[in-house]
Amino acid sequence: MCGRNGARRTPMQPTHRLNGTVDVEGFQYEWEVRREPQWSEKEGWQGMTVAVQQKDTQRGAILEFPPPKRLLKGMQRGRLQINDAVVSRGIRAALQAGWEPSSRGKTMWFDVDADGN
């Protein structure tokens, strides 16, 4: 596509990517959707999980989001609502809750709300 003066424009990035890299407080974090919302006979609807890890560190974290309200109401699944801003807020919440990406140990799990807080 061309803009003014024949300059080439690039199309906007979709907001439903399944992975990416974000900058939080000067550090780069890679993220990836690990599980989409799913039904469990034992626990009912489970929300999406996103794995995050600070670049060049060992200890990752899993952000667990609540299941979308539309699923709880019996409606069909829609497109995943995840983007860099939501992941960044989730990373900040995990850091405030005690996640230390540079420490050693098992991956930590954090429940966050639909906005990543």
- pLDDT given at position 7: 46
In a domain, 5, yes or no: no
- pLDDT given at position 46: 86
- pLDDT given at position 2: 45
Q: Tell me which residue of 92, 97, 91, 102 sits closest to 51, measured CA to CA.
A: 91
Q: How much is the mean pLDDT over the chain?
A: 82
In a domain, 34, yes or no: yes
Average pLDDT for residues 65-87, to the nearest whole number? 74
What does the alpha-carbon distance between residue 87 and residue 89 come to, in Å, rounded to a whole number?
A: 5
Tokens of 110: 């954090």
User: What total of structural domains would you count in the chain?
Assistant: 1
| Residues 6 or more apart whose Cβ sits within 8 Å of residue 36 | 48, 80
What does the alpha-carbon distance between residue 34 and residue 64 come to, in Å, rounded to a whole number?
A: 10
The answer to whether 88 touches 57, Cβ cutoff 8 Å, is no
For 47: left if phi > 0, alpha if psi spans -120 to 50, otherwise beta; the answer is beta
In a domain, 8, yes or no: no
Tokens of 111: 């429940």
In a domain, 42, yes or no: yes
Domain range for 32: 19-111
Its pTM stands at: 0.78
In a domain, 7, yes or no: no
In a domain, 9, yes or no: no
